[in-house]
Structure 1
Amino acid sequence: MEGRCSAESWAEFGCLLKSGTPLVRCGLGTDVFISTGSEEIFVFTALKRNLKAVLQLPAPVRDLVVSHGTQLLFVACSSGIYCVNLQLLLHSASTDAGSGPAELKISSEFLLVVADGVSSLLLVGSVLLTLCQTDSSWLLTLYKTPEQSQSNHCDVLSSFFLPLVSPSVQGDTESKSVLICVYFSDMTQSSSCAAASDACSSGSHFLLQAVLFKLLFGVEAALSKSPVILCGLPDGRLCFLPMRLPGSRLRILHSLEQPVVFIGASAVMETDAGGAGCLIALGKQGRVVLIKADRAGSERGGSIAGFTERCVPGPVECACVSKSCLYYSTGSDLLMLGLSEGSAGKGQDEGASRWSAAALYRPVSLNVSGVIALDQPTCSAAGEVQLLSLSVRGRLQKISLPVRRQEEGMSKLPSSQVGRSVGDLLSAIGDVCERASVLKTVIRSKNQILKQLNQVVNISFLLTDSAKTEDRLIRCYALVRWSRLLQKDSLGLTCILENLSPYVLERGWTLSIMVLPLSCSPKAREETCSANFSFPFRRLCPGESLEVSLPVAAAGDASFPVTVSCSLIFSVWSFLGGDGSTTFPDLHNGCFSLPLNTLTVDWLHALRVISPTSAQKTVTSHSGSNPADIIQAFISSHQNRVRGGDGASRPDQYYASVRVSSELLRDALRFQRHDSDSNGSKLASQSSCVSLLEWLLSAGCGGVKMGHSGDQTGISSSVVCGHAPNKATVKLTAKEVNVEEESPGKESLVSVEVQVESSSVAAVCGLHHAMLRRIQMLLQKAPQKACSFSEVQISALRRTLQQAERQQGQISEALSVAMCPGQTHRILLRVYQQLRDSPVLVV
């Protein structure tokens, strides 16, 4: 290329606006129509270099098209399509030539079609095509244009719909769509040959080679010589529509996966004189698709449509194409991409390979910046190419490119241009590497998310498929312990989440614990009894455990037993790193919960063991150390005697007991401790009474272990004293009892009886319930044996039933007679005490 390109400024129209679309269109003769994105269209004459007229539209201009035959100007705005007679416009401009450019306000009387959101216009003969976006589809409408503006009404010929893609891949909604028309090149015998030739002189109409036309649009379109409309959409799709074929519909030809900025046609060989041999589509981010007819190979024969994709520096603002070059602007530079490779004298295969090399040729910089709109290039007789452009500052300028010699090649470029080309190539390589690195990072992140979601699915199936809580590989157990803080005693729970599964619990998981007392006071029940605790964690590998601590009750609180429900909650949007704006219709707050297991903290768990000596000291200190305590004890005893009535006082101590066969207890404890507890060997040296007490106060029942703190942690005698959660003093006594059968000659059965003694009814009931619950769970896991003492069990049941019948009669008699509440409570308490004094023997 000899010399450098030059840019000549013709006029200034002000900075471009974002509301409309910047346009440069050549009209009749030397007239040029310019839009800067505002409501105005400037009519500029290139011959005299002056502004002829200004059209004021009611809304920003989106597109315009000129009819050379009828001399009509069609303008698309957001409110519709307006039609202006250019003869009247030129006549008005010549009349007002002495007073500057004529100003014409386009009112509603020029409104031709009422249509919202028209993006592009195209005029094919007497048919006006509009492309607009609706809520669910793209709409291509064909109108019959009026002749010589005799009517302000357009008749709708037909409409075609193309559904929208999903919003995530819809692309830039602000981008403008592209409409062009391609014709079958063999139109010499057609009656519309002259009209097609005139149309192809503009930048929206192209003659296409017959072979390529047939390969792309079908044999029927080629035989009918039907013009084909090509649509480039902001979502990247390239669609086509044969106009004259019955039953035609919009079909997709290709997808650029980025907004389409330009569609054109060019010659790639010197033999392409009869029509363009290549279709070109250019995307917003610089992706180029070259479509031409290639040979199918020696085996298949014939031709196929070849699609070649490459990337050029972007972003692309505007583009135009000449016979052999593509010109496009990135805003910061104007580039030229050469497409022609000369004749194919050495065969079609060699020409095709040379054309492929040309398609990968590096664009050449023309050193013109700020170009935002281009018109179709023109070529002088000497071969000089001229471009009409509009800059971002609203400057209309003519860009002249020097003549390019045929023998010019990359090896004969000046050293400065070679260095610049190498620098551009290295920059492009860096851009590609950077984009590849970003894509690798995104792919790696998505793979990691998919891997973690796979872990979540496996964990969900693992927790939902396990029928028994004990068989679950992810479960919780707990440890209770009394602590003292700020002169106040409180019972704390350490909950331990154990992961024995082969999966990793990663971010997004939260351990949720709900504490609910099974019995609440009426005042507490009116408010709330349950407490919820959440403990998010980031990672829990196989074999690891997570410990969390939470309060259960304060000293003096008798709301026992307490259920502790443990579950795992997974937050989807937190796991994906979202801000909460994403909604999941099937999930509450984007979370789902998987239950683990439920633990129970009873009175035995909360019992603080003390030595009998400490218990005696406590009683002595309370009775003689403080005169105020002596007075309070006297008042309390007096109140008890008054409440009793009839001279009878309420008993000072309450009892409840549980009896278990020694043989059954020994087998159950031995099975419980087999291969898991080193204390199993001590059973032979310890008595059954001590073993039972030690197991009740040390073994974990229902997943909850006791961490007793006090004067004595080991059990060495058959009497244990302690403080209940309600601060009452209790005593547990274990002893062996011989139970004789009713039949003579039978040996007696040795059993172990555990008795609970306390002045608090609540403590006696709670501890009795806890002991029964533990023994029941122990016997469920013990091996079953044939019972040889069934008669003892039957006789004990018979005596208990007879006693219960007598007591039921006492209760019915007491309730039938009108008594005060104090007497009724005293009778019910006496019946309860009698039932607990004669327990059923467990054998």
Structure 2
Amino acid sequence: MAGLVPRVRYLANLCSPARGPATGWPHVRSLGSEIFVCTGGRLVYVYNREGALLTAAYEFPAQVWHLELLDRRGALLVLCAGRGLYCLWLDRVSRQASQDAGDSASELPLIPVEPAACILPDTALCTFTALEDVLVTLARSPARWKMQLFEAPTPGKDPGLEAPIGEVELSTCTPLAKEPGGPPFLPVLCCTSLPGSRVPHSFVLEEGLFGLLFGADAALLQSPMILCGLPDGQLCSVLLKALVTSRWAPTDPQALIKILHHLEEPTIFIGALRTEPGAKDMPDMPCDCLVALGHHGRMVAIKAGRDEAGSLVPELREYCLPGPVHCAACGGNGHLYHSTPSGLCMVGLAPEDTLWEAEQPSRGPPSLPPTLCPASLRVCSLAAFCVSPQIPEGDTELLALSTKGHLMICSLVLSPETPHHTQAVTASVGHKIKELLSGIGTMSERVSSLKKAVDQRNQALKCLNEAMNVSCALLSSKEGPRPISCTTSTAWSRLQQRDVFTATCVLENHSAFSLGRGWALCIQVGPSAGAWELDTGVTAVTYTVPVDQLEPGGRREVTLPLAPGEDNTLGLPLTVACALFYSLREVVGGALAPSDPFREPCVGACLPSVLPKQEGICLPLSEHTVDLLQGLRFPGLAMLPASLLSPAPDPVDNLLGEHVEGGTSLRPASLRARYLPPSLAAIRVSAELLRTALQDGHSGLSLCSATLQWLLAENTAVDLVKAQALSSIQGVAPDGTDVHLTILQVAVTDLCPAGPLQTVEIQVESSSLASMCGAHHAIVRRMQAMVVALATQGGSSPPDLRLQYLHQMQANHEALLREVQALRDRLCTEDEAGSRATAERLLQLYSQLRSPSLLLL
């Protein structure tokens, strides 16, 4: 590969291009002395090389996806996202631009494109190619790609295109999902023809390769072929003449389509090269190699070879070039140019361009090399470029738009010196002063890219330092108030005409550090471990809420519904666990491997695989148990909204569970209350123990009222309970059943020899066994916490007890438990009649075990 010396000349500064469905795609095209540039937005700039200035800017109604020039007709065709195809006649708009420039000589004329310039309104149109006399378009349908053929517009006629003269549908390997702003990659269309039938805007392939690729029918018909590279990687060909005649002589549409290859990545470029020796000396010779390049750098080259018998056979070889690839073009000197984030590269397939062919001069006709070594041309990364045809023989001129928005000309002059190997293609001895000056612009852009990468890493390190400080502060504060806390409260609320039991988590930052990008509050709601042995049908659900920016002293509140179980009932108790999660992927991943294809890669960048598998840091904050006492509602209390006092009727019960007896409507809950006795459980606690635990905040109240307020401290109705000094209350469980709480003072005479022992008895009564068990479990949980807290503080020793009485009570409970186990074993073998009696006896035994229960001292 002969050395090429790049010379860069900057023409104008435009806005920095960005690529994607929200911003369009950059393009550069030339016609004579005019250069048409689109940076990816709505504007198409016109630069005059002779006058060395921007002459006009056309403003289109939407982002520009593709543009082409019809040389002979003097027309500019522009595809706008979601709008369709527009046509501008250059002689008319140039006169308008001259008038606008005369009116305002100091400013660039901005010419809005009128809606009448739209010649093909089609919101699904994705790309097109112009062959001077006809236009080929490609649009997305719900499941396929539709290719249509139109006659090219003619000046002086109706601006709209006539009906298509041919069409065919292309299948795709992946479903065509509807993206919000458009597809992430657009398909590629181009045309190729035989040497005898040259078609404008197409590249010419030699007859042997043309016949091998597209078949004998295409060669006999002398028909141009439309090549299509789809975003899923398919490389297809469509016979143009057959596409035209299929309208009058319908045939199988799929017979027009031929799948040539599959790149397995979005197609960026399709072109052709001349690889035979001496190709640079005969620029008009047809090309003998078809190339296709994908977004991630996968390249396929196809040319015609000969087998041992001398017959023509296709030779296909795949290569892997540096990626991602922004854009590419084939030069007249047999080289393929492609732009990557690191700069402009060049690769050649000719024998003089490869070391492999130079080492094997006597092995038959030239063939494709096994590997390719792209050479860097020491030019900055380009967003779009095209090859100018007006160049000396052997040299190449690129009209380019850099990723920084600079319109420039890159002249690649053939150097007389030939390096010793491919990797040193661009190395030359004795740089000239002019060459050094031309590289200043490239070095400036590279320094800017490196500075951006360093700033990004510094920001990532700053975020990691803040995360380390927050982690150390949380992990070191095991005792006392935590610097970052999360408290949970519950309440009933009305949502979409339904009563919903919600949990509100309040995250408060009392530390000196900010919680910025990467931090999220994770809330897991699930059944309490070991609460019941019964299956509540509730599965754990995790909610992740980004913290955004929480400054010192700030607070963030998150309210979420407590989901019901499989039977549409709220399975209490539930555990609400809150934790802070710091995402290393979000903060550090961008610094290690930037995802923006137009961003310069960081020097020495590590792969994202160096990050830990968990991809973050999890710091537990709090764990709150939601039990049935917190979910009770009290219809008998005043000053509460009626919708929050009693649950809304279940429409299923209204439709299927309603019975009428004597003119009275009875639902399943009322039927249970009528025919089954209520379930009762009781817990006795030493009055002295309760006075010691409740001495703070309950002065002036009776012990029974203070105990009821303590049990309902986490219920939203506790203020009304305090106002009325209640010691007994009727509530409604989340499933609609009644729960009655009664606090009594009872004297136990048989336990202490010194005399009667004053105790407080807490009774739970409900027509539902499940509701009674839930309330009983919630009370026992509070009693356990109270006993543990008092044990850590120390205090008076319990009174003397009669051990014989305790032994007898324990023996009675053990006998009841043995009978329960025997009855549960009998249920597995009895018939339906016997099982009913056994179940009734079990209910009696469960009631005896809970009332009266052991005494807490």
TM-score by length of 2: 0.47
- Higher-Rg structure is 1
Structure with the larger RCO, 1 or 2 (CA within 8 Å, 6+ apart)? 2
